[in-house]
Structure 1
Amino acid sequence: MAPATAARASAARDEGSDPEAAKLAVWKQALYDRVRETRRENDLFTQEDLTDLGVIPNKDKGLLLQVIQALSNDKLFVTFREASGQVCWKWRDEQEAHKYKQCANDEQAMVYSLVDDAGGDGVWSQTLQRRLNMNDTVLKNALKQLQIKGLIAPFKNVEHPNKKMYIKASIQPSDRATGGPWYTDQNFDEAFIEDLQKVIYDFIKKQSSYVSRHAAAGHDSSRTKVPKKGVLKGGESARGKKRDASEMADAPTSKAANKKSTASTPARTSATPVLLPLPAGYTKYPTVREIARLLSDSGVTNNTVLSGADVQKLVDVLVWDNLVEPVKVAGKIGYRVSRIAKQSAEGWAGRDDPTGREGGPAAYISAYTETPCGRCPVFDICEDGGPVGPSNCIYFTEWLGID
């Protein structure tokens, strides 16, 4: 049984000798249960809303106000006043209500209430003092007592690293407060992000290209295969039969031919693999969901949980760097590497490089997109005699460095 429920049951037993108090306890429980079944925790109820629930007999307003006051005393109802002046109430969970009842005085209750309202973002101690207009000593004592009771806890907010922030001890700080998966111990983890981008890039490259060795090496005539001369030796069944075409041997070369070839022909190297683009109509370019699944299965995230939105941000950075590009695949957005034939067949991840870019992929830079016209924000209205035109283009003036 929850602490708040046990306390209310004990109170009901104590009130058993008073019939009116016992009836009030029953109506209080009935109204609270009905409110929880009807609306979400953040919904507000007016007096008319509570009356229409049909719990209070004969819609007795006097009795309703007594029940509301009893629920407020137990911290199960929170009172609000709208801009119009109308009073409303919001129900509170029993466990949360029990925490409010642990506050020894009004100062602690007010401080805890503001920390509670701040949620996962937390609240600055100076904000508490300003909003409550509370003496500094009283505020510090209230914060200390609430920490001792395990109701609130101090924490660091990456947006305000030098401010002393407080949050409810029972909840986790929001991504906004902690920086999400991109921060480690309140520090921006640039190395972690770069490692993830390398893995993502290599995965997209593997899924959006194929490796060709023939295209790099060409045809090597020195390794031409020819049928062996002669006939098979053996018994009567094999005698006179020519060798099968599958029995191939290197073409014979004389010492003189070898010497001449060495003098006139440069030494050949082994085939170097190159990447080639996939044909039009290919539909298996990886999506963000597939990339997220790869990161989760690979263990490269170091037990950090990445949402689809987090992975999308990583992919977007690669897009903005002109390393990958989106492509529509069967109604979904997939990704492929830009200028795949210009990229190395070697993986980007795992290279020993402190800069993170040495030997990495080459970004695609178009001369057209580098000029103002290629990224003009007013391209649709640019024309001779119009509000913007080639003769008075301020973007070209800035780009060319003309005063």
Structure 2
Amino acid sequence: MSRSGASSLKRKRPDSNSLSQSLTEHERVLYDLIRSKQDMGIWTRDMKRETNLPDNVVTKSLKVLQAKKLIKEVVNIQNKGRKHFMAVEFEPSKELTGGAWYVEGNLDIEFIKFLKELCLKQIYMMKVATVEGVSDAIKRTGAFKVECTTQQIAEIVKALVLDNEILEVRSTGSGEFSSIPIGAVCYRCTSRGGLGGGGPKIGAMASIPCGVCPRISQCTPDGIISPRTCVYFAKWLDF
């Protein structure tokens, strides 16, 4: 899993002169189309539609472009059964990969669960904390060998609010809020989120994929992130 952001443009484009000499006309048309999609890539069916090339020509050209290491196949979490390609110099967008919470197209449930427990513990210890405060505290623990961004922590904290493990409150600037500016958004544990009974407990929602998904707040019936297209939710229902 990528624990930090990465630029979509990773390498220099292969020399255009050498490409002109080594690619056939069909291969060049296909490559230029794929590269024009940048970090979103393109589905093979859309390639055929946009280029009007026969299926066998597209299939053969894709194999050549892959062999020359000009394109790569990537996972689209919304449609894993579709072959999706992009130029090698780009990294897939979050819309395709699901962002830092996914590894090779699979939701990293164990990492999310661990991070939720760690955030809950830090908030309990700090009594009241901002996202930035939780993020800084976790960095100081050295729990991760790679960077865990403040944005990731913010998504986890939002998930904990939805789980009713913590409450979102506003600082009054006095008492336990004295170190936090007045009006700043901060978080505190609910009665069920305390350490009584041996330590922080993740809520009942954690038993289903939604409970460990930090993007649940973006999940809508007809959206890019949706229960209708979520393979993890479907598997849970089947179970």
- TM-score under structure 1 length normalisation: 0.41
Alignment of 1:2-401 (within 5 A): 96=13, 98-99=15-16, 102-103=19-20, 104-208=23-127, 285-301=128-144, 303=146, 305-329=147-171, 330=181, 331-339=183-191, 344=196, 346-348=198-200
Residue identity matched to 1:114: L
> CA separation in 2, counterparts of 1:315 and 1:290?
12
| Matched length | 182
- Contact 1:205–1:337 under 8 Å retained in 2: yes
> CA separation in 1, counterparts of 2:65 and 2:194?
62
Residue identity matched to 1:291: V
1:348 Cα deviation after fit: 2.5
- Contact 2:123–2:187 under 8 Å retained in 1: yes
| Residue segments in structure 2 that go unaligned for 5+ positions in a row | 1-11, 172-180, 208-239
Inter-CA distance 176–296: structure 2 relative to 1 (3 Å threshold):
farther
Deviations 1:203-235 (A, max 9, x none): 101111xxxxxxxxxxxxxxxxxxxxxxxxxxx
> CA separation in 1, counterparts of 2:17 and 2:142?
42
Residue identity matched to 1:96: R
> CA separation in 2, counterparts of 1:140 and 1:319?
48
Inter-CA distance 137–130: structure 2 relative to 1 (3 Å threshold):
same
Residue identity matched to 1:150: K
SS in 1 for 2:53: coil
1:288 Cα deviation after fit: 1.1
More strand by share: 1
- Contact 2:165–2:193 under 8 Å retained in 1: no
> CA separation in 2, counterparts of 1:293 and 1:136?
53
> Quick one: percent identity of the two aligned structures?
24
Deviations 1:68-124 (A, max 9, x none): xxxxxxxxxxxxxxxxxxxxxxxxxxx537247514233222211221122222211
> CA separation in 2, counterparts of 1:167 and 1:342?
47
- Contact 1:99–1:151 under 8 Å retained in 2: no
1:290 Cα deviation after fit: 2.2
- Higher RCO (C-alpha under 8 Å, 6+ residues apart): 2
> CA separation in 2, counterparts of 1:339 and 1:186?
36
The alignment yields a C-alpha RMSD, in angstroms, of 2.8
SS in 2 for 1:158: coil
